[in-house]
Amino acid sequence: MPEKLTFEQSMARLEEIVKALEKGDVSLENALSMFEEGTKLVKNCSKLLDTAEQKIVKLMKGADGAPVETEFEADEQ
């Protein structure tokens, strides 16, 4: 797995892995290797999402300059 994958690249590869594992026609050795790769991809996605969340919180400041955390509404755009 190359380093510095984007979130989208990581998710696409995770989808490939899940589909292959769901088919059930991979050897145990390959399944374990794919599972290991998948866990690394999940970790990468989690890190990227945490970083994005931190940036959003920094960008959202209240009148006093302190960060204001608000929940995103599905219908807000």
pLDDT at 76: 47
Residues in the chain: 77
Domain count of the fold of the chain = 1
**CATH number of the domain to which 13 belongs:** 1.10.287
pLDDT at 28: 96
User: Per residue in 12-48, pLDDT tens?
Assistant: 999 999 999 999 999 999 999 999 999 999 999 999 9
Question: Could you tell me which residue, 68 or 38, shows the higher pLDDT?
Answer: 38
Residue ranges making up the domain that contains 9: 1-77
Distance CA 50, CA 60 (A): 15
Alpha helices in 1-77 (DSSP H): 7-23, 28-59
Q: φ and ψ at 62, to 5 degrees?
A: -80, 180
Angle between helices 28-59 and 7-23 (to 10 degrees): 150
Which residues make beta-bridge pairs with 61? 67
